[in-house]
Structure 1
């Protein structure tokens, strides 16, 4: 029998790192953390016994930013070694929470009186998607949001839009005004000729039925464009 007791194995180095990172988050706030560090905090929940800093940095390098990691399609996320269902679930949960939060801010007050919240919501919901989406914000006579619906999802550079279907849905909801929104996965929100023509067609169908098109907003990684601001409508 040995007179020496076995010493407990030292804790993995990343455990101390996790504690320090959590402490920084609680004491100094999220603004003091780099994108990859904030991503690490999310990964802690999905990956219990592993240093997550390399994976967080690889995800940022692959997709470009914290927002783009959250918005990436699950199949693309799983192309990164170390990303499985648990990681995808945590990332998509945070993305859903961000969308729900910004939508809540939009619902609190009339749309036209909180334009910055509208833009923030549109960017959160669509700016970093890798496919074009066309959505419509349906408003009541007080310009409060009735509902927000994705009408069509297309390819990387095209989404089919059917003006009569947009207006038909507005009539079903008793909406008196709409805001059109779509994204440009290229990042550049500059309206194309097709975007301008499609907007005009929707206005031509909507206005005789008493439905106002307040704006058409295009969002992308590099910012946003407003048709009304550009005097295109």
Structure 2
């Protein structure tokens, strides 16, 4: 469809963005263009190019924008409750799709997808969460549960409760995951001590702790990879 001369200028721009995406997908599109295209689906009657750039400037990345708290998004002119909720739906859908992928095969053979899922689910949260992936004898996912939610820099963790839950779901292995809202995934001394305590309790009961993954905006850290457990 070609925009008429009397149509607002942004209608032709929107059409060109859609055509580029239809031809090539997201390849070759800058983050602000992809975000702009997304905004055109939920903000029908205004130019959203500046809004897309303002959101990226404020939050730092495409993923940060999608994961931003609803009230923070609504501080921007042009973003109301419906738009903000749509962003949350898109972020949740992406996380659900990644989770469905890691359910299909042994977790240890799809480690990159596990990291992608953990980052999508937690890396951009504004408070700490402690998540556990419970695995069966074939290292396939039995359950994925957020055990605790804390503050911006602390989550209470109860090692014996973690192992009790592993026994309840008949897990023979677990992966510990938590996020650092600061963005830096470097493990703290408290993270290391807590991980070692869980390993000590789990081992006599035949439960293997495969890893403790810390995710943040700046990447992820593996305590196993760092030889800290």
Relative to the length of structure 2, the TM-score reads 0.95
Match of 2:161 in 1: 165
Q: Distance in 1 between matches of 2:211 and 2:105?
A: 18
1:131, distance to aligned residue in structure 2 (A): 1.2
Selected match of 1:121 from 117, 121, 133: 117
Match of 2:14 in 1: 18
Check conservation: 1:42, 1:90, Cα contact below 8 A.
no
Selected match of 2:183 from 182, 187, 190: 187
Residue 38 of structure 2 is aligned to residue 42 of structure 1: yes
Q: Distance in 2 between matches of 1:85 and 1:32?
A: 31
Q: Distance in 2 between matches of 1:9 and 1:97?
A: 38
SS at match of 1:60: helix
SS at match of 1:186: coil
Check conservation: 1:134, 1:183, Cα contact below 8 A.
yes
SS at match of 1:189: coil
SS at match of 1:49: coil
1:77, distance to aligned residue in structure 2 (A): 1.3
* Per-residue CA distance 1:39-67 (angstroms, 9 max, x = gap): 11221121111111111111111100100
Check conservation: 2:174, 2:209, Cα contact below 8 A.
yes
Check conservation: 1:178, 1:211, Cα contact below 8 A.
yes
Map 1:1-233 to 2 at 5 A: 10-233=6-229
Size of the aligned set, in residue pairs, is 226
Question: Which structure would you say has the larger Rg?
Answer: 1
Check conservation: 2:43, 2:78, Cα contact below 8 A.
no
SS at match of 1:30: coil
* Per-residue CA distance 1:91-119 (angstroms, 9 max, x = gap): 11110111011112211110111111111
Q: Distance in 2 between matches of 1:28 and 1:38?
A: 12
Q: Distance in 2 between matches of 1:116 and 1:67?
A: 18
1:28, distance to aligned residue in structure 2 (A): 2.1
1:81, distance to aligned residue in structure 2 (A): 2.2
Check conservation: 1:152, 1:159, Cα contact below 8 A.
yes
Q: Which runs of 5+ in 1 are unaligned?
A: 1-7
Q: Which runs of 5+ in 2 are unaligned?
A: none
SS at match of 1:158: coil
Check conservation: 2:177, 2:214, Cα contact below 8 A.
yes
SS at match of 1:51: coil
Q: Distance in 1 between matches of 2:27 and 2:82?
A: 26
